């Protein structure tokens, strides 16, 4: 009986249904927490690339410090100075890493001539190798890199790729350069 086709099929179906239900219920239950965690990571990344720091009290006051701006690029944020003019912008960073999507934000000065920082909100690179793109020393190297129209950022001269993770390092650079190139048309409208 146990080895009959019918039993095998019914057993497999029932068991799959039971486990799928357990997982679905658990996920649905935790979804608000997971969404909130992801939003927190997102907000922290935005604050960090704008050079504001991401301590708990700053995170809570997120809306007071930065404001979303309509820039043709969704989820763009800006910090405004006392005179009401933007001081810096945070633009989303999207692209393909070695193994999966890499998402994050870059901070750019209002004049579009200086990279203020880079943070990742999602990356699936190999932990211990490509995953090291998320380590502070790597990301901090990009602070203060000048942005020159028509010129791509390259490794070397104070900007190091990660040993043993060439593909992930290059993927990050490629995404960064593509994102910056994509900002070129905005420079006319928003830059000053």
Kindly tell me which residue out of 99, 145, 155, 170 binds another protein, with binding defined by CB under 8 A: 99
Question: Under the criterion CB under 8 A, does residue 127 sit at the interface with another protein?
Answer: yes
CB 154 within 8 A of CB 173: yes
Q: Taking CB under 8 A as the rule, does residue 126 contact another protein?
A: yes
For residue 125, state whether it binds another protein (rule: CB under 8 A): yes
Query: Between 35 and 75, whose beta carbon lies closer to another protein?
Result: 35
Dmax (CA) of the chain: 81
Query: Going along 18-100, which residue ranges are E strands?
Result: 66-69, 76-80, 86-96
Stretch that binds another protein, among 25-33, 52-60, 71-79, 85-93 (CB under 8 A): 25-33
Is 60 a residue that touches another protein (CB under 8 A)?
no
Q: Can you name the residues that pair with 146 across neighbouring β-strands? A: 114
Distances 99 to 8, 78, 123 between C-alpha atoms, Å: 36, 31, 9
* Binding of another protein by 56 (CB under 8 A): no
32-45 b/e (C-beta count within 10 Å ≥ 16 → b): eeeeeeeeebbbbb
> From CA 96, how far away is CA 167, in angstroms rounded?
11
- Tell which positions 157-176 bind another protein, by CB under 8 A: 163-164
Based on the shown chain and the rule CB under 8 A, indicate whether residue 13 belongs to the binding site for another protein. no
Whether the Cβ atoms of residue 116 and residue 88 lie closer than 8 Å to each other: yes
**Region binding another protein by CB under 8 A among candidate stretches 48-56, 106-114, 130-138, 183-191:** 130-138
Q: Does 124 bind another protein (CB under 8 A)?
A: yes
Positions in the binding site for another protein (CB under 8 A):
2-3, 7-8, 11-12, 15-16, 19, 22-23, 26-27, 30, 33-34, 37-38, 40-41, 99-100, 123-129, 131-132, 134, 163-164
């Amino acid at each position: 009986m146990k080895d009959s086709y019918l039993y095998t099929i019914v057993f497999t179906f029932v068991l799959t249904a039971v486990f799928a239900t357990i997982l679905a219920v658990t996920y649905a239950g935790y979804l608000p927490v997971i969404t909130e965690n992801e939003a927190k990571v997102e907000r922290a990344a935005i604050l960090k690339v704008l050079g504001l720091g991401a301590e708990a009290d700053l995170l809570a006051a997120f809306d007071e410090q930065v404001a979303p701006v309509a820039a043709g690029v969704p989820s763009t944020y800006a910090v405004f100075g006392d005179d009401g003019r933007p001081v810096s912008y945070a633009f989303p960073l999207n692209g393909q890493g070695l193994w999966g999507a890499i998402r994050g934000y870059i901070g750019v000065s209002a004049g579009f001539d200086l990279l203020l920082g880079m943070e990742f909100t999602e990356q699936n690179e190999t932990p211990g190798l490509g995953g090291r793109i998320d380590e502070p020393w790597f990301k901090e190297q990009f602070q203060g890199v000048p942005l020159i129209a028509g010129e791509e950022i390259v490794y070397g001269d104070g900007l190091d790729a990660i040993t043993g993770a060439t593909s992930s390092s290059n993927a990050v650079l490629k995404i960064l350069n593509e994102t910056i190139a994509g900002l070129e048309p905005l420079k006319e409208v928003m830059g000053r």
